[in-house]
């Protein structure tokens, strides 16, 4: 019997690729998406499409209303930054940072893992082509793992939870090549922080710019439908 794993699935390129990696590594994949009050629901629609296309044991979407605590451009109130070059993003934590998001997401994933008897949790965090979020760093992942083993009945009983972050040191171009090799339906993934009502990507937020640069550097045609023509500058 395959070991079970919980994979956090946002609907973006990274988490979709992580799901394919977990499946390819022989895990029985349980995908978890969290509706944390994102400004738009296109991400969750993409997550469902990716889960269906790649095939998972189960896809659970769970509500955690982080929009009530505010403090982020992704949950409302603050504008999404546009037009920053990828170089200028490095080392800065932007307004799209959602306070303690990965701690919350991983904690919920930990709870589900414990219930289904999984000890492996996968998350698509990345420290190379990313927006400077603190909760994407390896030190955070290790600290979460230590906490997880003390937080749970399973941990108290000797189970060692592992948080896998297989993309943590990969560039976006490397991730996109890996995704293509594993058959990830990239045309169904969603990266934009501020899509139009149709779901079309803005092409100018940090996430769109990182995505475009990744496709360009990977030498793979970008299947994304953008809302407007945007300059090619990453």
Q: Quick one: 111 or 185, whose CB is closer to its own copies?
A: 111
Q: Which residue among 79, 150, 158, 229 contacts its own copies (CB under 8 A)?
A: 150
CA neighbor of 81 nearest in space, from 89, 91, 70: 89
End-to-end Cα, the chain, rounded Å: 45
- 114 makes contact with its own copies (CB under 8 A): yes
Segment interacting with its own copies (CB under 8 A) among 14-22, 50-58, 150-158, 198-206? 150-158
Q: Which residue among 143, 180, 181, 233 contacts its own copies (CB under 8 A)?
A: 143
Q: Which residue among 51, 80, 110, 179 contacts its own copies (CB under 8 A)?
A: 110
Residue carrying structure tokens 């930990």: 110
Report CA dihedral (189, 64, 128, 95) to the nearest 10 degrees: 100
Distance from C-alpha of 233 to C-alpha of 29, rounded to nearest angstrom: 37
35 and 63 in contact (C-beta within 8 Å)?
yes
- 45 makes contact with its own copies (CB under 8 A): no
163 and 145 in contact (C-beta within 8 Å)?
yes
Per CB under 8 A, residues contacting its own copies are 60, 62-66, 68-71, 93, 97-104, 107-108, 110-112, 114-115, 134-135, 137, 139-140, 143-144, 146-148, 150-153, 155-156
């Amino acid at each position: 019997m395959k070991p079970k794993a919980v994979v956090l699935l946002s609907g973006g390129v990274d988490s979709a690729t992580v799901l394919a990696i977990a499946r390819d590594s022989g895990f029985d994949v349980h995908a978890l998406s969290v509706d944390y009050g994102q400004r738009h629901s296109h991400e969750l629609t993409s997550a469902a499409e990716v889960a269906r296309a790649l095939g998972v044991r189960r896809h659970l979407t769970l509500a955690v209303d982080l929009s009530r605590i505010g403090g982020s451009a992704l949950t409302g109130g603050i504008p999404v930054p546009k037009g920053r070059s990828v170089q200028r993003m490095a080392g800065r934590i932007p307004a799209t940072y959602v306070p303690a998001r990965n701690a919350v997401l991983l904690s919920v994933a930990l709870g589900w893992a414990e219930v289904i008897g999984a000890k492996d949790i996968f998350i698509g965090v990345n420290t190379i082509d990313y927006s400077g979020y603190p909760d994407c760093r390896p030190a955070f992942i290790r600290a979460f793992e230590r906490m997880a083993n003390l937080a749970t009945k399973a941990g108290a009983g000797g189970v060692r939870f592992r948080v896998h972050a297989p993309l943590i040191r990969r560039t976006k171009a490397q991730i996109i090549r890996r995704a293509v090799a594993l058959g990830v339906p990239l045309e169904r993934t969603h990266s934009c922080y501020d899509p139009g009502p149709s779901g079309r990507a803005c092409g100018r937020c940090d996430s769109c710019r990182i995505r475009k640069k990744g496709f360009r550097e990977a030498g793979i045609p970008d299947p994304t439908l953008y809302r407007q023509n945007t300059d090619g500058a990453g």
